Amino acid sequence: MTLLIIGLTLWIAAHLFKRVAPGLRDSMGNAGKGLAALGIVAGLVLMILGYRQAEFINVWYPPSWTVHLNNLLMLVAVFFFALSHSKGRLKARFRHPQLASVKIWAVAHLLVNGDLASIILFGGLLAWAVAEVIIINRSEPWVPPEPGEPKRDVLLVVITIVTFIVIAAIHYWLGVSPFPG
**Counting Cβ atoms within 10 Å, is residue 24 exposed (0-12), middle (13-18) or buried (19+)?**
exposed
Overall average pLDDT of the 148-152 stretch: 89
pTM to 2 decimals?
A: 0.90
**Position with higher pLDDT, 22 vs 96:** 96
Q: pLDDT band at residue 181, thresholds of 50, 70 and 90?
A: low
Residue 130 — very low, low, confident or very high, per pLDDT cuts 50/70/90? very high
d(CA 76, CA 82): 10
pLDDT at 9: 97
Q: What does the alpha-carbon distance between residue 3 and residue 49 come to, in Å, rounded to a whole number?
A: 7
- Which residue type does 122 have? F
Domain chopping of the chain, boundaries? 1-54, 56-181
Positive/negative CA dihedral, 15, 96, 131, 26 = positive
Spell out a b/e string for 83-96, using b for 16 or more CB atoms within 10 Å of the CB, else e. Answer: beebebbbbeeeeb
Q: How many CA atoms are closer than 13 Å to the CA of 36, on its beta-carbon side? A: 19
- Report the mean per-residue pLDDT for the chain: 93
The pLDDT assigned to 147 comes to 86
So what's the pLDDT on residue 156?
94
Binning pLDDT at 50, 70 and 90, where does residue 176 land? confident
Regarding predicted confidence, which is higher, 31 or 39? 39
**pLDDT range class, residue 10, cuts 50, 70, 90:** very high
For residue 172, is pLDDT > 90? no
pLDDT of residue 99: 97
* Angle subtended at Cα 177 by Cα 125 and Cα 102, rounded to the nearest 5 degrees: 20
In this predicted structure, the answer to whether residue 28 has a pLDDT above a threshold of 70 is yes
pLDDT at 6 (0 to 100): 98
